[in-house]
Chain A
Amino acid sequence: MSKDIRIKKGLDIKLVGEAEQVTTELPLGSVFAIKPDDFHGVIPKILAKEGTEVKAGQALFYSKSDERILFPSPVSGKVTEIVRGARRKVLAIKITADAQQEYKDFGKKDVDAMSGEEVKNHLFTSGCWPFVKQRPYDVIANPNQAPKAIFVSAYASAPLAADYDYALKGKEAELQAALTALTKLTTGKVHVSVAANSTLSPFKELKGVELHKVSGPHPSGNVSTQIAQISPINKGEVVWVVTPQDLVVIGELLLTGKVNITRTVALAGSKFNKPQYVTAKAGAQIADVVKGNLDADNTRMISGNVLSGLEVAQDGFLGYYDNLITAIPEGDDYEFFGWNKPVFNKISASRALTFSWLNPKKKYDLNTNTNGEHRAFVVTGSYEEVFPLDIYPMQLLKACMYKDLDEMEGLGAYEIAPEDFALTEFICVSKQPHQKIIREGLDLMREELG
């Protein structure tokens, strides 16, 4: 039985440079890197020292908290450098890829015959466990807990996000295998949400899952929004979350025995000459992926979307979970009387001489200017307009700032991820770093309450 989810509160940020539905197969790049920071909260223990030859799918490191959780190399090649930062923290593990790719074979599996424990062990050994994330805390799932349900959001509502209906076309078999495997991991249900107006979704015909149709402005595609509507998380409960592009990897593993972390990546934003889709492996060097397509002059490159992605340089690397590279103009210029003149070329949730409300369909070319300086919280009531959860956003943010664990718990910190506060951060007139505040709050809770 499916349930329709309608979201009213939120804000669609329409930007120019949406990726055209054309995919170019890129040649394999030469250097790849896995950054342990992509896996929040994981302390890496290196398995593949500098100089080791690895196959695609072979583990590079494991998590200090649970040695079963392995992190695989996306390509076969030689570990050429382990970049370390302050206090010898591992920043990146660089691999120079071989011309001929070799995959470590984990064996084909008949998913229907597998038990939950077998699925789990298979994900551990193949290094696919990190694809399973959990709420609360928005970190890689703790395999010792039993989730009450597993959620997949197949609707990306973030600005310029890759369109799942297009990017996952023809992957029905992989998705079905992966979802069947997931159903074995929980006693509850596996919930999949698709856009209400989607006709082509590869998830439409899949069996064994609860299908939900979502409509409404961003953040309706955020999985927390959907969880809150379908089955809100209570204290002590855990849900697991997997993204559709990671389901494909898991599915391929089960069907072929290979770990092939190849994504259909959207290149979007006004700074791309031709916004479109390309294929790339996780950890690919950005320069290889965007070659020949980028206007690099005064450009902000983002691995992920403009709201919660990570800034990367051209010699940086595609994030492990990301299926989107956004390029927008930097906004490091002054604007004469920018604070009081009428504004037509920027988005605003208010009407304070800002005129984006006149034309809700218009696409904007926003830059990275903060449009103002950091201030204390002053304005109230505006965050609630774009925040669809039954949570008081400002009160929760303040609870995180003064580190009151009881209050954070009471106000619903178990139900949220930093990305849920991206829109409130976007519209904040005080320019407060909401996602950072929430991340630090969640980390503190995880440390203190486990």
Chain B
Amino acid sequence: MTTILPVRRRTRRRPALWALLLPFVVMFLLFFVAPIVYAIVQSTLATRSSGLGFGPPETTFVLLDNYVRALTDPAFVASLGRLLAFSGILVPLMVVTALGLALLLDTGRARAPRFFRVLAFAPYGVPGVIATLLWGFLYIPATSPVLQVLSAVGIDVVPLASGTVLFAIANIALWGFAGYNMVILLAALDAIPGELREAARMDGASMWSITWHIKLPLVRPSVILVTVFTIIGTLQLFVEPLVLQPLTTAISSTYTPNLAAYNQAFSQGNPNLAAAMAVIVAVLGFAFSFGFLRLVNRKGNRAW
């Protein structure tokens, strides 16, 4: 008897199940799977001309040629390296800053915590292009009051020189997203049951040990989430270099893989190579995100 019931219920539910799933499945296939398949298909094709190039071109199947071309192009490989360096700079900086801000606001001793929460979050509301334009003005000696003051006291900083431009971009990203990540972490901190803190305090735990032994382990999933988001975000680096490009000699048209793909697709008329570059970036994104998740999960709760 007890074994028959679920079976009957399942058969009855099936049409409803599919009806409810259908909108999602259709949208998912149409707007998520199909573009990926399309990009992969495009990345295996190439258009070839002959002679002077003025006859109608032919589209041919070239399998992995575009991938080989992208990965043997020193400029594209350099852009991948640059991206890794950028991730190396930004990810730790982002997580530590967001966590630091969240913990400060969560101490209970902070004054006007709501005000500061909004203040830290506000840059997230500024569109990336506008933010980069604003920082662009601050990075150029001719228009930056900050650099002018520094220069007046004998400190010459050139944020957009080739050695510093990656940090300049990281600074813009940090300014824009640290507040957003802070809010995620604050929500996690808020969710920690009050009894736990109280019990710890009763046992004589200091502020530091509460932070270290109670708060941090309990917000660990959120920290991982923020880290993965930041990794994915850094791999998509595009707007900042695009907008800063005219202001400096240090940013080329292949500065990041996304910028290189964009230029191939929209300025150099080679959407097939662009598709291959895009797939490479996507694969890297998967590899890093899942690699990171595996790493933290294997170490269990003792990650820190």
Is B one of A's binding partners? no
> Which residues of A are at the interface with B, using a C-beta cutoff of 8 A?
none
